[in-house]
Amino acid sequence: MKKVHQLKHSGELCFIDSSGNMDRENCRVFLLLTHSCAGGLPLGILLCQSEDEQTIAQGLEQLKQVVGEKGFAGRGHEGPQLVITDDCRAERGALRKAFPKATLLLCSFHLLQAVWRWLWSKESGVTHGDRPALFAIVKEMLYCQEIGSVDRLYSEARGHPVAASYEKFLRYLDRLYARRECWALSYRGSFLTRGNNTNNFAEAAMRVLKDKILQRTKAFNLPQLFDLLTSRLETYYEARIVDVALGRWESFQRAKFLPQDGNIAASHIQQIEDKKFVVKGSTQTYDVDMDLELCSCPAGQTGAPCKHQAAVMKLQLFVTLFSTDKPRDESRADETDIGSN
């Protein structure tokens, strides 16, 4: 895990989630991860006997002492820039104490799940036929692309004929709107989320922990749980990284990091500096910075992989493979369609 802290992504974004029912004493296991092409990689594990804010904060402080100043890609005790969590008050309160400079974001999936559960609860008082319409209001606010659209949709929702008939829903919507900067995707345009808006890496890691490490059985006690986490878990992630390095990974995982380049021709790519390019699209041009892994298109603004970065990467690979001393037809190379190579 200390090696994972050397990755630059560990200082950009962190996922955290907890689970229990892993040993006879029912301790809570908190798993901190960062993202990579190999999936989520662990940054640390907290073993706690309770899930209150003070206990989690103390565990995070001890983790900071273990990783030292070189942790989180050299950010040290400041921790990661962004942390994505579910809506757990104790967990988020502890993160604010341990990493006051970090920005805490809410998982989009957990937010919609919480709204759906509330609409189906007796407390809401919403009838069966009106639930989809009210859920669509929150979902549209979540996925809108412009910050001003969130305010507009909120104003329209308060005058919505269905929403106006439920006073409890309007109060619930007011509380959500007050925290819009945590969950609305339009407010994340300046953050390096790398296209990650959910806590799915942590959810998948918990499934791996229970299925492949513990094999769906409880550890006898806390020392045995600690031994399993520090031996088997390490071996599992080492094997996963080796598989990716050797090209043995699933096609659906590769598809995220190697998107289709849309048959962008080499003549539409112009190199400005060492790692900076300009890619001509169908309607406009886009700036690509391969050093920062950023693109000016909507998909690449937050650091997510996009077709323009894929086209530049294929062009660089093509040039590397064919830049030999053997003579070649330069005019033919200029007309080469990158997508066909």
What is the per-residue pLDDT across 144-161, written as a single tens digit (0 to 9) for each?
Answer: 988 899 999 999 999 999
Mean pLDDT of 229-254: 82
pLDDT single digits (tens) 62-121: 999 999 999 999 999 999 999 999 999 999 999 999 999 999 999 999 999 999 999 999
CB 141 within 8 A of CB 184: yes
Residues linked to residue 15 through DSSP beta bridges, in sequence order? 33, 84
**pLDDT on residue 335:** 46
Cα 135 from Cα 47, distance rounded (Å): 36
**pLDDT on residue 329:** 52
Domains and CATH numbers, the chain: 4-106+198-245 (3.30.420), 108-188 (no CATH), 258-340 (no CATH)
- Where residue 289 falls (left for φ over 0; alpha for ψ -120 to 50; beta otherwise) is beta
Q: Which residues contact 222 (CB under 8 A, 6 or more apart)?
A: 23, 25, 27, 47
Mean pLDDT of 302-307: 85
**pLDDT on residue 262:** 65
pTM across the whole model: 0.83
Cα distance from N-terminal residue to C-terminal residue, the chain: 38
> Residue 33 corresponds to which tokens in the numbers above?
């991860």
Cα 189 from Cα 181, distance rounded (Å): 11
**pLDDT on residue 258:** 64
